[in-house]
With several copies, the nearest count.
Chain A
Amino acid sequence: MKLVTAVIKPHKWEEVREALAAAGVAGMTVTEASGYGQQKGHTEVYRGAEYDVSLVPKIRLEVVVDDADVDSVVSTITGSAQTGKIGDGKVWVIPVDSVVRVRTGETDEAAL
């Protein structure tokens, strides 16, 4: 199994969620995060003063998936989260040894 972690723009969250649901992803875990990247360096003027804002709000998703589903999940996310503007985010995939469903103790594929 694999853990797909995606960092996306907040206002894309609804679309990504719907796309994943449509693609059959039954569960995920979401956290609020802040991103630092090329999108950095934007300058804000406020009350007559200028500032660099280095962090921008992001949504961070984690989805544990079967090996077989990795590619489709990744492409579903990139497809639905894309705006084409800098800062759209990243998706990375990590190997997972095992998964357990707390409620039942089921493991691995059965736990998803």
Chain B
Amino acid sequence: MDTGDTAWILASSALVLLMTPGLAFFYGGMVRSKTVLNMMMMSFLALAIVPVLWVLYGYSLSFSPDGNQFLGGFKRLGLDHISQGTAYGTIPEYVFVAFQLMFAIITVALISGAIADRAKFGAWALFIVIWMTVVYFPVAHWVFDFGEHGGWIATKLKAFDFAGGTAVHINAGAAGLALALVLGKRVGWKRDPMRPHNLPFVLLGAGLLWFGWFGFNAGSAVGANGLAGLAFVNTAVATAAAMVGWLLVEVVRDKKATSLGGASGAVAGLVAITPACGTVSPLGSIAVGVIAGILCALAVGLKYKFGYDDSLDVVGVHLVGGIVGTLLIGFFATKGNTGGIGSIFYGGHFEQLGKQAVAAGAVLVYSFVLTYIIGKLIDVTIGFRISEEDEVLGIDQVEHLETAYDEAGIIGGSALKTGV
């Protein structure tokens, strides 16, 4: 085992953990002040539940070496057969367990943005358990397990997905779309502005996400080496380029650049470069970033056209961004970074694009269909949505007995703004 590689993956695991609180702020700032706590708690509930599932059986279903190409095995149940001395490549397997755990947490948390302000908290808890088990653990195996009995996308199809454009972003985006359809629109959708109640929080979230994402992407090299360096540089420059792209769309269309656009553009770039950061060059990353920034900026308007309330644009940013990044590998991958496999612009090869499309499509369809079914099952049994009256009052009060802010404090405890 290599202490340097281990040090970087330990640090990366911590970085990726932080992404979920970061997401809580990115999302939490975007909703109205009467729903921010629930929005944040949807992410924190992922932090509470997923690690327990992961240790009990999730890691095993995703990575236990005794599985097949569709699902891992059972040897790692309860993290059995792992000790401090067990290696995974050049790092302790415990470290790999930790690193991959963080991916599992954030993926389900991402979905919550599609159903802001209206989901029963208990139903969301149940959804996390079922969705992780039925959707995430298998898909993570498909994409991230490169072992002898590894996943079909990683080992048979050999589509490139360096850090999870399919397993994380397309997966979460498709699931978000499905849940937005199951739950329906918020009261007042299209009538009320529902503008972000705290844009500095959105920027804070974007900043923490970007920071953590270096662990996500450069950590996916599973070592401290030139590949990690490439992924790091690409993550920085594609994100920047996507911000430029998104802000340009706004300037052209609305004359002004918004802070919400800046934050969203950064996330769109991070999403798009996730699958591609190990295979494209830094110049290619600029292209990936700009394209993703522009396309996602346009895609967030789709929900108004098609009439689904994907409240915080999980579809527009994660689904669209994930697809863009996954497919652009087929155009921009360089032979030097792929071990000889070219792409349309670098060598004129079209095959890889096809593989990328198959991987993207498979995850999209699998996730959308399964999620829709899970959502409907929860809805018809315990009910997924709170009442209209409660929604108008604000889900924070109703589901958490709290209001986020109480800043009137001048007056002793019984501050003017307390209570219902």
In the complex they form, whether A and B have CB atoms below 8 Å apart is answered with yes
- The answer on a CB contact under 8 Å between A14 and B419 is no
Q: Which residues does chain A contribute within 8 Å of B414, judged by CB atoms?
A: 14, 53-55
Contacts of B298-344 to chain A: CB distance below 8 A: 300-301, 304
Per-residue 0/1 for A43-75: is the Cβ within 8 Å of any B Cβ (1 yes, 0 no)?
011111101011111010000000000000000
Interface residue B85 (Cβ < 8 Å from any Cβ of A):
no
Alpha-carbon separation in the docked complex, A10 to B328 (Å): 50
- The answer on a CB contact under 8 Å between A13 and B195 is no
- Pick from A30, A46, A59: contact of B193, CB below 8 A: A46
- The answer on a CB contact under 8 Å between A13 and B411 is yes
Interface residue A32 (Cβ < 8 Å from any Cβ of B):
yes
Alpha-carbon separation in the docked complex, A47 to B265 (Å): 12
Q: Which residues does chain A contribute within 8 Å of B260, judged by CB atoms?
A: 46-47
Least distance between B315 CB and chain A CB atoms (Å) = 14
- The answer on a CB contact under 8 Å between B301 and A14 is no
- The answer on a CB contact under 8 Å between B412 and A44 is no
Q: Which residues does chain A contribute within 8 Å of B254, judged by CB atoms?
A: 45
Alpha-carbon separation in the docked complex, A54 to B417 (Å): 11
- The answer on a CB contact under 8 Å between B420 and A56 is yes
What number of B residues sit within 8 Å (CB to CB) of A?
28
- The answer on a CB contact under 8 Å between B416 and A55 is yes
Interface residue A34 (Cβ < 8 Å from any Cβ of B):
yes
From A51, which residue of chain B is reached at the shortest CB distance?
Answer: B193
Q: Which residues does chain A contribute within 8 Å of B413, judged by CB atoms?
A: 51
Contacts of B370-420 to chain A: CB distance below 8 A: 389, 392-393, 401-402, 408, 410-414, 416-420
Least distance between B383 CB and chain A CB atoms (Å) = 22
- The answer on a CB contact under 8 Å between B416 and A30 is yes
- The answer on a CB contact under 8 Å between B419 and A44 is yes
Chain A interface size, as a band, is: 20 to 34
Interface residue A11 (Cβ < 8 Å from any Cβ of B):
yes
- The answer on a CB contact under 8 Å between A10 and B410 is yes
Least distance between A33 CB and chain B CB atoms (Å) = 8
Interface centre among B253, B304, B418 (most CB of A within 10 A): B418
- The answer on a CB contact under 8 Å between B193 and A57 is no
- The answer on a CB contact under 8 Å between A34 and B392 is no
- The answer on a CB contact under 8 Å between A47 and B193 is no
Q: Which residues does chain A contribute within 8 Å of B412, judged by CB atoms?
A: 11, 13-14
Interface residue B190 (Cβ < 8 Å from any Cβ of A):
yes
A-B contact count (CB 8 A): 64
- The answer on a CB contact under 8 Å between A53 and B190 is no
- The answer on a CB contact under 8 Å between B393 and A53 is no
From B401, which residue of chain A is reached at the shortest CB distance?
Answer: A46
Q: Which residues does chain B contribute within 8 Å of A11, judged by CB atoms?
A: 389, 392-393, 410-412
Alpha-carbon separation in the docked complex, A42 to B389 (Å): 20
Q: Which residues does chain A contribute within 8 Å of B416, judged by CB atoms?
A: 30, 32, 34, 55, 59
Q: Which residues does chain B contribute within 8 Å of A42, judged by CB atoms?
A: 419-420
Contacts known (A11-B412, A59-B411); A34 close to B193, Cβ less than 8 A: no
From A31, which residue of chain B is reached at the shortest CB distance?
Answer: B416
Alpha-carbon separation in the docked complex, A55 to B419 (Å): 7
- The answer on a CB contact under 8 Å between A57 and B195 is no
Contacts known (A10-B410, A11-B393, A14-B411); A53 close to B301, Cβ less than 8 A: no
Alpha-carbon separation in the docked complex, A13 to B414 (Å): 10
- The answer on a CB contact under 8 Å between B301 and A57 is no
Q: Which residues does chain A contribute within 8 Å of B389, judged by CB atoms?
A: 11
- The answer on a CB contact under 8 Å between A48 and B301 is yes
Least distance between A100 CB and chain B CB atoms (Å) = 22
Q: Which residues does chain B contribute within 8 Å of A49, judged by CB atoms?
A: 190, 301, 304
Q: Which residues does chain B contribute within 8 Å of A32, judged by CB atoms?
A: 408, 410, 416
Alpha-carbon separation in the docked complex, A57 to B393 (Å): 12
Contacts of B237-258 to chain A: CB distance below 8 A: 253-254, 258
Q: Which residues does chain A contribute within 8 Å of B419, judged by CB atoms?
A: 42, 44, 53, 55-57
Q: Which residues does chain B contribute within 8 Å of A53, judged by CB atoms?
A: 193, 414, 418-420
From B190, which residue of chain A is reached at the shortest CB distance?
Answer: A49
Task: Return the 4 tightest CB-CB contacts between A and B, nearest first.
Answer: A48-B301, A53-B419, A51-B193, A10-B410
Q: List 27 A-B contacts (CB under 8 A).
A: A10-B410, A11-B389, A11-B411, A14-B412, A14-B414, A30-B416, A32-B408, A32-B410, A34-B417, A42-B420, A44-B193, A44-B401, A44-B419, A45-B254, A46-B258, A46-B260, A46-B401, A46-B402, A48-B300, A49-B190, A49-B301, A51-B413, A53-B414, A53-B418, A54-B414, A59-B411, A59-B416
Q: Which residues of A contact B (CB under 8 A)?
A: 10-11, 13-14, 30, 32, 34, 42, 44-49, 51, 53-57, 59
Q: Which residues of B contact A (CB under 8 A)?
A: 190, 192-193, 195, 253-254, 258, 260-261, 300-301, 304, 389, 392-393, 401-402, 408, 410-414, 416-420
Known: A44-B419, A46-B193, A56-B419. 7 other contacts (CB 8 A): A11-B393, A32-B416, A34-B417, A47-B300, A48-B301, A53-B193, A55-B419
